[in-house]
Structure 1
Amino acid sequence: MKDQEFFQQRIQRLRDEIGRIIVGQRAVVDGVLTCLVADGHVLLEGVPGLGKTLLVRTLSECLGLMHRRIQFTPDLMPADILGTQILEETPDGRRQIRFQEGPVFTQILLADEINRATP
């Protein structure tokens, strides 16, 4: 089997698997898969209830990838996205600084309601 045929079969299988959950959004699913293959980013716009969050969750589950979600708000801080340094005490009583990763450290990131963020 040629590489192209193998790739097409894999994408079709992924499309079918996503289509079992996401119904009636074939063009959106194809666009997301195209961006995934092209190593790009996707901006999904639409009214609530179209399944944008479900699509991201389904895609990550079908691919076995970790996903996280950031809910954008006017008071969102960089540390809410990137993470922060935390001072903690070790079992032997010493203090140490540990980096707590933010949601950006994932394989698929859903940035939800970006229109609510401050400019």
Structure 2
Amino acid sequence: MEEPISLTASEWRVMEALWDHGGQTIAQLTAALEGETGWGKHTVISFLNRMEKKGAVTYHEEGRARVYEPACPRQEARRQEAQRFLDRVFAGSLGGLVSTMVDAKGLSEEDVRTLMDILDRAEGGSGRDRP
């Protein structure tokens, strides 16, 4: 994906279903999403059409059915979405995001260990010196 794609919360649900289950027809996607969302076939088709125009999904024909696939890996889409959020809400400041989250909810010991491991990796260390 050359240009970042912005997805709505509902479009993320469709993408998650595609990432989790691989290529799917409209009928398969509708069945996968209907229980948790209540969306019918026409709603799923509308989302897929919008997402295709955005470049988020592609499809190929299998007989009379279209089989939809994500146009990018999940990790790349997450990275792009996180960067957009960080830029929009925190002017690109990762420290601002972390500080806000710590002030809002605090950190568990597990959260602290996870953050320390992430920081250690960022510095190129092994993480073995951490408590």
TM-score computed with the length of structure 2 as normaliser = 0.27
More strand by share: 1
Q: Point out which structure has higher relative CO (alpha carbons under 8 A, 6+ apart).
A: 1
TM-score computed with the length of structure 1 as normaliser = 0.29
